[in-house]
Structure 1
Amino acid sequence: MRYRWNTGSIAWLVHRVTGIILALYLIAHIYVLSHLKDPVSYDKLMALMKNPIIKIGELILFAIVLKHVFAGIRITLLEMGVSTKYQKQMAYAGAAVVAVLWFIGAIYFLKEVF
């Protein structure tokens, strides 16, 4: 018997994976911030944050956060009683909203680089 992937199961998997990524990022973020005890290391980190590669990483992180948020909203709506027959439409609508918000955010992020 083969498992059939559908929109709901893919959305479930993406939500779980983005949650794991965000948890790992949060641990790394707290670790880095806890080791910024002197102004020299802080200045070095701030100089590194202006690197275009880091800005691309921030854009990827922004996309992951947006996707996780809208997947969570979809799950919340399903648990509040919205019929599962609208699951596919909610997943596509969430992806569209994520794309629009990401492009708006990308303009803001990239404005600082260029």
Structure 2
Amino acid sequence: MRYKWNTGSIAWLVHRVTGIILTSYLIAHIYVLSHLKDAAAYNKIMALMKNPVIKIGELVLFAVVLKHVFAGIRITLLEIGVSTKYQKQMVYAGAAFVAVLWFIGAFYFLKEVF
């Protein structure tokens, strides 16, 4: 017997994966910040943050955060009683909101680079 992937199960998996990515990022972020003991180390990290590759990484992180937030909203709506027959529409609406907000955010992120 094979498992049939549907919109809800893919949305569930994406929500879990983005949660793991965000948790890993948070641990790494706290680790880096805890090792900034002097002004020279801070300035070195800030210079690195202006690198275009890092800016692209921030855009990816922004997309992960947005996707996780909208997946959480979808789950919350399902928990408070919105029918699961609207699950596919909620996934598509969340993806559309993520895309729109990501492009708006990308404009501001990349404005500093280019």
TM-score higher than 0.5: yes
* SS, match of residue 3 in structure 2: coil
Extract unaligned runs of 5+ from structure 1. Answer: none
Which residue matches 1:89? 89
Cα distance in 1 between the residues matched to 2:54 and 2:74: 30
Cα distance in 2 between the residues matched to 1:105 and 1:5: 31
Cα deviation for residue 87 of structure 1 reads 0.2
Cα distance in 2 between the residues matched to 1:64 and 1:112: 21
The 5-angstrom pairing of residues 1-114 of structure 1 reads 1-114=1-114
Residues paired across the two proteins, number = 114
Cα distance in 1 between the residues matched to 2:99 and 2:11: 15
Cα deviation for residue 108 of structure 1 reads 0.3
- TM-score scaled to structure 1, two decimals? 1.00
- Structure 1 segments, 4+ long, off by >2 Å, are none
Which amino acid in 2 is paired with 1:113? V
Deviations 1:11-59 (A, max 9, x none): 0000000000000000000000000010000000000000000000000
Extract unaligned runs of 5+ from structure 2. Answer: none
Which amino acid in 1 is paired with 2:69? V
Which amino acid in 2 is paired with 1:2? R
- What percent of counterpart residues are identical? 87
Cα deviation for residue 9 of structure 1 reads 0.1
Cα distance in 2 between the residues matched to 1:5 and 1:74: 18
Cα deviation for residue 105 of structure 1 reads 0.2
Which amino acid in 1 is paired with 2:59? L
Cα distance in 1 between the residues matched to 2:108 and 2:78: 33
Cα distance in 2 between the residues matched to 1:84 and 1:37: 51
